[in-house]
Chains A and B, each alone.
Chain A
Amino acid sequence: MTLLAIDWTLLIEKLVLIAVIITASLVIAMYATYGERKVAAILQDRVGPNRAGPFGLLQPLADGMKLFFKEEIIPNTSNKLLFVLGPCLAMLTAMMTSAVIPWGNEIHFTLFGADRHIPLQIADINIGVLFIFGVVSTGVYGIMIGGWASNNKFSLMAAMRGASQVISYELAMGLSFIALLMLTGSLSMKTIVEQQVHGHWNIIYQPLGFLIFLICAFAECNRAPFDLPEAENELNFGYHQEYSSMKLGFYLFAEYINMFISSVIMATLYFGGYDVPFLNEANLPVNIAALIGVVALLVKAFIFIFIFMWVRWTLPRFRYDQLMNLGWKSLIPLALVNMFITGAVILWRQG
């Protein structure tokens, strides 16, 4: 019967880890909304939210409360099931990607006399990056279903825009990632980070690849300058126009979680993940090293989030044909060239 035995401690461990990571990403996404408003304000010489609590720090809570107390409206003509499914899917896919991200190294502690080594990663699957790509591309269903179920021209148009945009940019993103893949030879996020901890960060080998990846990440998150799906002034509010209350909150929230997760992914793939430069983690106690690693990863992610916001408050929105031109005629060829160059260099170095 030992075949079927479940490692209960492992299960609990993972559940705790999942709970912590989900809570953390929710809180970070919550404060990303605050951060966005503050960054926008500062870049525009304004003050930003400063009424709720000291420095307006309670603003996200107030916003959340407000959303909760708003009336839930489901339009009569909408498809009720899909209408509810849309935001759920958006939220779900946004949260799911965090599963394969290595948040830090192992932590060690003793529980009930047993030594436990807990890797700070929910699942180290060997196709981690593929998983992320897969989940991210399902994310477009959240938009698509939401837009479709609203039964409204603007929402549908926005959803179509969103879907085509995400699909187009996913291609370039994948291609730019293949170049990185050829270097690392692994799809596991953990392995990719380990290689960077011992060697150099991938950004040194793949600057062009990173640039393409960054631009595509903007597009995948539907962030300005690629925020065509929600383009307020053209499509009212895009695919979440008919949504109210917490369902709208979910959509808005999913955007911020996506932003956070893609920042973390960029930090992991190109900037050494939880690696701290010029610091030899092996000399430190394991737990402290792991903690520093987590903080390092978060700091890197926050820098990326800031860049996301900075770009949003600098650049105007692309026109739709410009968006498609950029995606298909510039980024994909560039990514292909990058791939070929990387391949050639690898072959040349192998002799």
Chain B
Amino acid sequence: MQPLTKKVKQLERKPMTLLERIYLPSIFKGMAITFSHIFKKVPTIRYPEEKRPFAKVFRGLQVLNRDEEGRERCTACGLCALACPAEAITMEAAERQRGEENLYREEKYAAKYEINMLRCIFCGLCEEACPKDAIYLSETFAPANYKRKGFIYGKEDLLIPDPLTQPEEYEKAKGERAPATH
């Protein structure tokens, strides 16, 4: 029969020699190999106590950003929701009232902003789509939860602490991937 590919390899099927038929030499060889593994370094990372550093490009939980005056940057334009391939983002817009200028940077803001972490694939397209640098992906990930409901992150979960009133928490939550403020 014509072989279908050029990769066919003819095997030599010699009858086993006596040494091979006794099995023992190869058994001892195998046992020596497993024994040598006793002295090998264990690559395990004992997770809760020991954590592996994330890569520089790691994309994790989203953060809704504030500007340096502590105002929410998001203007509820919906571009992130549009860009999102997983359709994980929903939001409701509201108009900024007089006197709320210290809360929201733009005249329109997101009254409700939800990301479903079970849908999100952490692609980072929302971050790329945002014209206001209002959302970026940080180095943490969504922790486990008992209920599906717990994976729908609202604004209170996503919004970064105010840099003016809570500077310490803000620094902690900011992370490496935060866009430079301007």
Contact = CB atoms under 8 A, between A and B. Distances in A.
Given A313-B34, A315-B27, A315-B30, A45 B42 contact: yes
Contacts of A50: 46
Contacts of B34: 43, 310, 313-314
Contact of B30 (A42, A44, A47, A314): A314
A107 B42 CA distance: 45
Contact of B37 (A44, A47, A315): A44
A310 B38 CA distance: 11
Given A314-B30, A315-B27, A43 B37 contact: yes
Contacts of A44: 37
A315 B28 CA distance: 10
Interface string A19-56: 00000000000000000000000111111001000000
A284 interface: no
B42 A310 contact: no
Contacts of B31: 310-311, 314
Give the interface size bracket for B toward A.
10 to 19
A257 B38 CA distance: 25
Main secondary structure of the interface of B (DSSP, over half): helix
B40 interface: yes
A315 B31 CA distance: 8
A47 B38 contact: no
Interface string A41-79: 011111100100000000000000000000000000000
B17 interface: no
Which of B34, B38, B43 is the most central at the interface, judged by chain A CB atoms within 10 Å of its CB? Answer: B34
Interface residues of A, number: 12
A46 B30 contact: no
Interface in B11-51: 27, 30-31, 33-35, 37-38, 40-44, 46
Contacts of B42: 45-47
A43 B46 contact: no
A315 B30 CA distance: 8
A104 to B, nearest CB: 30
A311 B31 CA distance: 7
Contact of B38 (A42, A314, A315): A42
B33 to A, nearest CB: 8
Nearest to B39: A42
Contacts of B33: 314
Interface in A258-310: 310
Contact of A45 (B30, B35, B43, B46): B43
Contact of A43 (B38, B41, B43): B38
A337 to B, nearest CB: 14
Nearest to B45: A47
B37 A45 contact: yes
A210 to B, nearest CB: 13
Contacts of A314: 27, 30-31, 33-34
Nearest to A322: B23
B32 to A, nearest CB: 9
Contacts of B40: 45
B27 A47 contact: no
A149 to B, nearest CB: 36
Contact of B35 (A46, A47, A310): A310
B37 to A, nearest CB: 5
A42 B41 CA distance: 10
A43 B32 CA distance: 11
A44 B33 CA distance: 11
B42 to A, nearest CB: 6
Interface of A: 42-47, 50, 310-311, 313-315
Across chains A and B, which 10 residue pairs bring their CB atoms closest together, nearest first?
A314-B34, A47-B44, A43-B34, A314-B30, A314-B31, A43-B37, A45-B40, A42-B38, A45-B42, A45-B37
29 contacts: A42-B37, A42-B38, A43-B34, A43-B35, A43-B37, A43-B38, A44-B37, A45-B37, A45-B40, A45-B41, A45-B43, A46-B42, A46-B44, A47-B42, A47-B44, A47-B46, A50-B46, A310-B31, A310-B34, A310-B35, A311-B31, A313-B34, A314-B27, A314-B30, A314-B31, A314-B33, A314-B34, A315-B27, A315-B30
Given A43-B35, A314-B33, 7 more contacts: A44-B37, A45-B42, A46-B42, A47-B42, A47-B44, A314-B31, A315-B27
